[in-house]
A and B are shown apart, each in its own frame.
Chain A
């Protein structure tokens, strides 16, 4: 008990001086928590961003066939992916041929985020969207009627994407299927699987859908994997760097704390205190400091990670944004370890010197 009274009194008396060491360690703990939180979550966040690209797997007809069975969509969804069927045929508008695309607007929504649309993004029964090139060619606008042969429809929106949609009339899947004379089949099925599972999903689809050509879009899958890896590596290296440097700083700080009190150590030894007891004294002080910093740093670090997460990736689920609660143990552990080792090293240096030398003031 006397031991703890000693320690606590020492901490109380040297509050101001200890504040500096505390803040150095707290800053290190804050940074560690924030950086680790972000690092552990960054992959997930970035893969979410890549979803905007749309499909990364295409299911196309194989062999002599021209169509893909609609069952492919259900199969892909069973694998946990987003999938939609598309059917293409040629229709007639104003006496001219025009490409008609049938789209399952509900399912295709997440795959076509990049469309720039004036008007509605979805067309219901008896409605359609037209691509910007088609609109310009036939001088059509939203709200007008498109006199598509066998399937006249009300134009709900104009789509501009820089891709094939610009030259198409987009009908709901059922209407286009009828025009094309198909039943329970699609021209192509587009699939979006999560980046880290894409090869597994592709393999599963190949097995489940013989008679179709399941293609992995190399450009998307590889670029995603590449960029995610590079960002993670950069963050990892930067984190290691910053932490290495702050550890050095903290070590210096804690060593200084002990070295300043060499006279005190000299006196303690002179009145007969055992080396181990002296060490225990200083270590306890460091322990208190270390715990206090770890807790403060953890709290502040989570706050920093949360703020950064909110700023950069808004709209992601609530508090899960960039915050990793599980970081506490490793951060606290490392923080305390650094504090203790530094203290012990410094103390060890001192008590090796002869008491008289210390008291004399060297």
Chain B
């Protein structure tokens, strides 16, 4: 009987039905699009913020206090303090390894060029290696510092080679020495080919970068690394994150460990590399956290505002529908239908409209969210699969709720009065 009721109702006023469904669909589309964008924008912006550089620095635990100005050391460096290079892939075996977007080991030394002391850094530029689980991964300077510019070319060190004498001076240094890409410079008595010149704006511009394994060979420090810069996607610090892990309860510790706070990622790196200590670089980490927190908060509130209006739209459309059909309700009452029956039939029809509108709307909304993601971030947004069904369910609930009150009011009236007055 319900089917007959609904199909009759559709047959009698198809345009009105279509408009109701369309209104619900529009509300659902707004809700889905907003939620879809809102849920993923935090991640997208987090990735963009990695352009700021490393937010963690890993150094040997036993290392004594450095005495260093502008990369030049004023005290001999102890050879016993180092991080073994072969342990580095373990950085990608921590609980949050997927959040670690890159790491860059380095070995520091000094050379004399053009009559003055110049800091030399042995690094991985963009090394390909196998992670602890055998999966291929990339690491090196370029995975941590995506904003650095090169005049010329990067050193291609995807494959290890300690005989490749290539160098990349910073642009200030290159200017002082008068070198261009393609020139040769003398370092430790050997000729190094300048592949490209680095422009960063920071203190790197006064240094010269060479391959890590080459510097290790020249300094007789095989397999040793001084420091590792790490870039990670983190969750902004809140009150909970600032607690001292040593004083947390078991449950709190688990929660802290399983949240990508910068402090817990640092802790996990120290677990993977027991000979090292990992510290957040607050200049980067602090600001990332604050900015992300604000952006997420803003999106949430805007989404709530939009959801409120979507809900209002659906509610009001359903209320109108019932208002317009009061004569029908009166007739049903007059011919003996119980109040419960009328409520059930109308609610069911309204729920169906809500469901159909919700389905169409959520599908359109997902497309719109995808479009926003592509236009702004050039990638697909990661939208949880549950979003569609949740919006449909919400549309149904909002529809039924919107119709409920007017239905009750209409049923309370004397049918004779309603029929006599005709349309409301």
Contacts and interface: CB of A to CB of B under 8 A. Distances in A.
Interface string B246-285: 0000000000000000000000000000000001111111
Contacts of B48: 223, 226-227, 230
B375 A99 contact: no
B323 to A, nearest CB: 8
B172 interface: yes
B149 interface: yes
Interface stretch (A3-11, A102-110, A149-157, A307-315): A307-315
A103 to B, nearest CB: 14
B287 A49 contact: yes
Nearest to A229: B376
B22 interface: yes
B34 A238 contact: yes
Nearest to A226: B48
A41 B41 CA distance: 19
Nearest to B70: A88
Given A31-B305, A252-B22, A312-B297, A234 B65 contact: no
A114 B287 contact: yes
Nearest to A31: B309
Interface string B53-81: 10011000000111111100011000000
Nearest to B205: A215
Interface in B330-385: 368, 371-372, 375-377
A74 interface: no
Contacts of A304: 305
B305 A34 contact: yes
Contacts of A208: none
Contacts of B51: 219, 222-223, 226
Contacts of B176: 63-64
Contacts of A241: 30, 33, 368, 372
A238 B302 contact: yes
Interface string A208-241: 0000010111111111001100110111011001
Q: Give the interface size bracket for A toward B.
A: 35 or more
Nearest to A135: B65
A362 B286 CA distance: 68
B179 interface: no
Interface stretch (A161-169, A287-295, A331-339): A161-169
B290 interface: yes
A231 B285 CA distance: 20
A233 B375 contact: yes
Contact of A27 (B145, B149, B313): B313
B113 interface: no
A30 interface: yes
A83 interface: no
Interface in B304-343: 305-306, 309, 312-313, 316, 319-320
A215 B279 contact: no
B358 to A, nearest CB: 14
Interface stretch (B134-142, B156-164, B194-202): B194-202
A162 B145 contact: no
A219 B281 CA distance: 15
Nearest to A134: B65
Interface residues of B, number: 75
Interface string A23-36: 11001101100110
A58 B302 contact: no
Nearest to A89: B69
Nearest to B279: A162
B391 interface: no
B204 to A, nearest CB: 10
Contacts of B285: 162
Given A35-B302, A60-B172, A167 B26 contact: no
B294 interface: yes
B282 A116 contact: yes
A20 interface: yes
A345 interface: no
Contacts of A223: 48-49, 51-52, 147
A91 to B, nearest CB: 10
A270 interface: no
Contacts of A226: 48, 51
Contacts of A99: 67-69, 74
A120 interface: no
A50 B291 contact: yes
Given A215-B172, A219-B52, A219-B53, A245 B30 contact: yes
Contacts of A126: none
A99 B65 CA distance: 10
Contact of B309 (A30, A50, A238, A252): A30
A34 B74 CA distance: 58
A242 B30 contact: yes
Interface string A47-85: 001101110011010111000000000000000000000
A179 interface: no
A235 B376 CA distance: 10
B396 interface: no
Contacts of A28: 309
Q: Which of B148, B290, B319 has the most CB of A within 10 A?
A: B290
Contacts of A215: 172, 201-202, 205
A312 B372 contact: no
Given A23-B316, A161-B283, A241-B368, A219 B294 contact: no
A273 interface: no
A160 B64 CA distance: 17
A95 to B, nearest CB: 12
Nearest to A35: B302
A88 B293 CA distance: 35
22 contacts: A17-B424, A31-B305, A31-B309, A53-B52, A88-B70, A90-B67, A133-B66, A167-B67, A215-B201, A219-B52, A219-B200, A222-B51, A226-B51, A227-B291, A230-B44, A233-B375, A237-B372, A237-B375, A249-B26, A249-B313, A307-B301, A311-B297
Q: 4 tightest A-B contacts by CB?
A: A162-B281, A223-B51, A217-B201, A137-B65
Given A99-B69, A237-B372, A312-B298, 13 more contacts: A23-B316, A50-B291, A62-B172, A133-B66, A161-B281, A163-B281, A234-B376, A242-B30, A242-B309, A245-B29, A246-B26, A248-B26, A252-B23
Interface of A: 17, 20, 23-24, 27-28, 30-31, 34-35, 38, 42, 45-46, 49-50, 52-54, 57-58, 60, 62-64, 88-90, 96-99, 113-116, 133-134, 136-137, 160-164, 166-167, 187, 213, 215-223, 226-227, 230-231, 233-235, 237-238, 241-242, 245-246, 248-249, 252, 256, 304, 307-308, 311-313
Interface of B: 19, 22-23, 26-27, 29-30, 33-34, 37, 41, 44-45, 48-49, 51-53, 56-57, 64-70, 74-75, 145, 147-149, 172, 175-176, 199-203, 205-206, 279-287, 290-291, 294-295, 297-298, 301-302, 305-306, 309, 312-313, 316, 319-320, 368, 371-372, 375-377, 424
